[in-house]
């Protein structure tokens, strides 16, 4: 009986016009509670300590899948263009892109992209659609059969969640990361930068706010004023956000509490979207720390190649131009990266190498694209029958760990694949792929 009454109430809420949601909460994410382990303290549940190794020296790439949940009548539908619009807003805000509303903020060098491959390795748009009246009201464990690998994908669900504009069910430092319920939930009318009748001031910042939680940030008003002398263990655990007694509503010209101006322009406050435009440097440091410690596979997804290709590769005896890529994480300490080449001559010997400079110098039947002191990566490998080869890298071993080939945080290196081509057009027996430039993180 109680369940039927609750279901009826939820259905009644779903049928109300948008104006009836005027008192909807800005965010339904619970404040941190007790009884959760704090380690690692750099970005723990109860503590925070910014470290140089988490500064934004390179980009973290995050693959996103949107699960659009609709009523059986079709209400709740979101087009691919609206969802891409939301991805664009996330990139503007997390990278403080010049010319965008988020430009005044801090460039966190975190990039979001709709997934191009699903968990089975099949091509995808990064969007799934579901029709279920219960799920539409955020009821039932819908994620248990819908979620994509939450270690490797940011799963965002859109529905008519009755409580709020959005929420996350918990924080990664609670041990949530990787569980099926690990997700971001958004009220479907708050998706994208274009306002709707239900949320006219929306500019897509609900997603920015909730993804901030997903990456370990608390509300700026969490715990009230906190302690200025212990700002890494009280309040929102961030010292460069002023203490704030209560959340902000609307878009005031100014607001003060705790003896200082409130951070009304911070994405983790409750101000209206036009009033929000920043994460602080220490918030960025904490989010990148969270990615490194609590969500390492999310940023190391092998669906997004690491680095930037440059130079050219000529057609070889396989009928293709060879190309090099790197998968994993551009982090020296994470030590999770694999080089691979495709399009090389079939069943032939090849070698990966790297150096500090970029060039384009004729060599054999192709172009040497790496200059300066060259570091070869033995042993030589034999490509397969399709002209592909792969080499996992271990940054703890020579030549990466010391000397002129040492990888250090913030350094940029250029990689290329050199292979034999006995039947090549020039008769020299040598050919090369294009090249790849990678800037490494701590």
Query: Which single residue is written with the structure tokens 């016009």?
Result: 17
Task: Name the residue among 81, 111, 113, 114 with its Cα closest to residue 96.
Answer: 111
Task: Name the residue among 330, 334, 343, 333 with its Cα closest to residue 304.
Answer: 330
Give the DSSP letter of residue 348: -
Number of H helices, E strands in the chain: 7, 18
Q: What is the CA radius of gyration of the chain?
A: 25
52 vs 42, 281, 331, 441, CA distance in Å?
11, 11, 13, 10
Longest dimension (CA), the chain: 83
Whether residue 210 lies in the annotated active site: yes
Instruction: Choose the catalytic residue: 92, 189, 210, 282.
Output: 210
| Bond prior to 346 in cis (omega within 30° of 0) | no
Cβ(421)–Cβ(431) below 8 Å: yes
CA distance 236 to 220: 6
Overall residue count recorded for the chain in this entry: 442
Residues paired with residue 414 on neighbouring β-strands, in sequence order: 355, 437
Residues paired with residue 370 on neighbouring β-strands, in sequence order: 358
CA distance 438 to 411: 8
Angle at 147 between CA 145 and CA 149, to 5 degrees: 125
Query: Which single residue is written with the structure tokens 């969802």?
Result: 83
Task: Name the residue among 115, 191, 185 with its Cα closest to residue 156.
Answer: 185
176 vs 181, 183, 206, 211, 320, CA distance in Å?
8, 9, 21, 14, 45
CA distance 49 to 34: 20
Q: Which residues are known catalytic residues?
A: 210
């Amino acid at each position: 009986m109680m369940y039927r009454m609750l279901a009826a109430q939820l259905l009644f809420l779903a049928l109300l016009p948008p104006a009836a949601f005027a008192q909807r909460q800005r965010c339904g994410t619970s404040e941190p509670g007790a009884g959760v382990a704090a380690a690692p303290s750099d970005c723990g549940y109860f503590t925070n300590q910014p470290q140089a190794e988490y500064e934004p020296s390179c980009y973290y790439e995050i693959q996103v899948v949107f699960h659009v949940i609709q009523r059986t009548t079709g209400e709740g539908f979101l087009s691919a263009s609206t969802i891409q619009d939301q991805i664009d807003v996330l990139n503007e805000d997390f990278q403080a892109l010049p010319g965008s509303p988020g430009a005044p903020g801090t460039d966190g060098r975190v990039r979001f992209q709709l997934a191009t491959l699903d968990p089975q390795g099949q091509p995808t748009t990064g969007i799934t659609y579901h029709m279920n009246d219960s799920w539409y009201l955020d009821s039932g464990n819908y994620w248990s059969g819908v979620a994509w690998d939450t270690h490797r994908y940011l799963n965002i669900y859109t529905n008519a969640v009755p409580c709020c504009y959005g929420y996350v069910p918990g924080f990664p430092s609670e041990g949530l990361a990787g569980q099926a319920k690990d997700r971001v939930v958004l009220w479907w009318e708050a998706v994208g930068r274009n306002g709707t009748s239900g949320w006219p001031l929306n500019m897509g910042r609900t997603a920015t706010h909730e993804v901030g939680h997903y990456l370990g940030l608390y509300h700026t008003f969490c715990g009230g004023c906190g302690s200025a002398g212990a700002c890494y263990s009280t309040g929102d655990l961030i010292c460069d956000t002023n203490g704030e007694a209560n959340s902000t509503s609307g878009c005031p010209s100014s607001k003060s509490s705790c003896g200082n101006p409130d951070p009304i322009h911070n994405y983790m406050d409750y101000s209206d979207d036009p009033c929000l435009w920043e994460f602080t440097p220490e918030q960025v440091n904490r989010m990148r720390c969270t990615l490194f410690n609590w969500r390492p596979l999310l940023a190391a997804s092998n669906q997004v190649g690491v680095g930037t290709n440059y130079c050219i590769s000529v057609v070889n005896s396989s009928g293709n131009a060879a190309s090099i890529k790197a998968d994993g994480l551009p982090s020296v300490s994470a030590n999770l990266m694999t080089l691979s080449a495709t399009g090389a001559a079939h069943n032939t010997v090849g070698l990966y190498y790297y150096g500090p400079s970029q060039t384009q110098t004729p060599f054999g039947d192709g172009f040497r694209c790496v200059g300066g002191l060259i570091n070869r990566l033995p042993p030589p490998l034999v490509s397969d029958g399709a002209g592909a080869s792969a080499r996992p890298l271990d940054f703890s071993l020579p030549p990466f760990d010391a000397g002129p080939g040492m990888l250090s945080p913030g350094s940029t290196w250029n990689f290329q694949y050199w292979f034999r081509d006995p039947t090549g057009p020039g008769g020299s027996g040598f050919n090369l792929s294009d090249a790849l430039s990678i800037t490494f993180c701590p």
